């Protein structure tokens, strides 16, 4: 059966010393507690190797927030999937709406990134989600289906089985405006149905689908209680060990 997962997305926050301290705090909190979900932190590239040295990977998974769509070469400033993997990280967020919106990431680039992540044994946490206008004009199911089809449905069933999905309505990210648990459940069920149509029931049932967008300790339990919500991708509330752990404990 699919896993429940709470993953932090630190975005462009924390200096290296701050990041190490936060990772140590989360790691320490997990030691004294038997979490009912997998817990992962996705951190800036600059922090990966150092954080890998201070956490217990049995308790806390480590991931990057992006990787390049090339293996190596003359791509100044980029960080490749093999580089990420060489730090000890085993996850990578791909297709976050901020990457799509501010850095022009297309489904074509994302297919390349997913391929490279899988080739390097990184588990992609692949994000989909509609913007406010698409929520309001009712095209949100179509938009999310298209993101899945274009970004992932070139994969074989075996490859798709390695993907974690995150539904993040863009209008709920960092805005304090969470999707209601019913809105999240409706979309997660739709995503699972879409996966089933392409890859069959077993693959669909085994895929973890996380919710992201202003998830916090006060709303996490209601979201995670929904049958198709298998955890969360957490931005702002992952920047303090206490609030992040509050969400982990919602399971």
Q: Give the footprint of ligand PGA on this chain (CB under 6 A).
A: 9, 168, 173-174, 212-215, 233-237
Least CB distance to ligand PGA at residue 214 (A): 4
Shortest Cβ 94–ligand PGA spacing (Å): 12
Rg from Cα positions in the chain: 17
Instruction: Answer yes or no: 96 catalytic.
Output: yes
CB 79 within 8 A of CB 68: yes
CB of 128 to ligand PGA, least distance (A): 12
Q: Are 230 and 3 in contact (CB under 8 A)?
A: yes
Smallest gap from residue 217 Cβ to ligand PGA (A): 12
Q: Which residue, 93 or 204, is less far from ligand PGA as judged by CB?
A: 93
- Closest alpha carbon to 114 in 130, 128, 94, 100: 94
Q: How far is the CB of 72 from ligand PGA (least distance, A)?
A: 28
β-bridge pairing 123-128 and 5-9: unpaired
- Catalytic residue, from 65, 98, 134, 168: name it: 168
Q: Does 168 participate in catalysis according to the annotation?
A: yes
CB-based contact 144:209 (threshold 8 Å): no
3 state SS of 63: strand
**What residue is closest to ligand PGA based on CB?**
235
Q: With H, G, I as helix, E, B as strand and everything else as coil, classify residue 14.
A: coil
Catalytic residue among 47, 96, 98, 130: 96
Q: Give whichever of 110 and 204 is closer to ligand PGA, judged by the CB atom.
A: 110
Query: DSSP string covering 164-210, please?
Result: EEEE--GGGTTTS-PPPHHHHHHHHHHHHHHHHHHH-HHHHHH--EE
Query: Which of 48/204 has CB closer to ligand PGA?
Result: 48
Using DSSP's 3-state secondary structure scheme, residue 7 falls into strand
If the CB atoms of residues 96 and 204 are measured against ligand PGA, the closer one turns out to be: 96
In contact, 22 and 14? CB cutoff 8 Å: yes
29 or 220, CB closer to ligand PGA? 220
Q: Which residues are identified as catalytic?
A: 96, 168
């Amino acid at each position: 059966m699919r896993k429940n997962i709470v993953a932090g997305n630190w975005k462009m926050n924390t200096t290296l010393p701050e990041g190490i301290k936060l990772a140590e705090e989360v790691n320490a909190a997990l030691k004294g507690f038997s979490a009912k979900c997998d817990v992962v932190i996705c951190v800036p590239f600059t922090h990966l190797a150092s954080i890998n040295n201070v956490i217990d990977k049995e308790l806390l998974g480590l991931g990057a927030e992006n990787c390049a769509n090339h293996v190596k070469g003359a791509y100044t400033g980029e960080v490749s999937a093999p580089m990420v993997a060489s730090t000890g990280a085993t996850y990578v967020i791909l297709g976050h709406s901020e990457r799509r919106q501010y850095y022009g990431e297309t489904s074509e680039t994302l297919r390349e990134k997913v391929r490279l992540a899988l080739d390097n044994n990184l588990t992609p946490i692949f994000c989909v989600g509609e913007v406010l206008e698409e929520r309001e004009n009712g095209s949100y199911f179509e938009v999310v289906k298209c993101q899945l089809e274009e970004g992932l449905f070139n994969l074989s069933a075996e490859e798709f089985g390695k993907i974690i999905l995150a539904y993040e309505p863009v209008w709920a990210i960092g805005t304090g405006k969470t999707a209601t648990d019913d809105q999240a459940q409706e979309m997660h069920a739709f995503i699972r149905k879409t996966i089933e149509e392409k890859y069959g029931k077993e693959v669909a049932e085994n895929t973890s689908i996380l919710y992201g967008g202003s998830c916090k300790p006060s709303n996490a339990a209601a979201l995670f209680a929904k049958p198709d919500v298998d955890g969360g991708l957490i931005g702002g509330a992952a920047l303090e060990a206490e609030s992040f752990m509050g969400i982990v404990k919602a399971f």
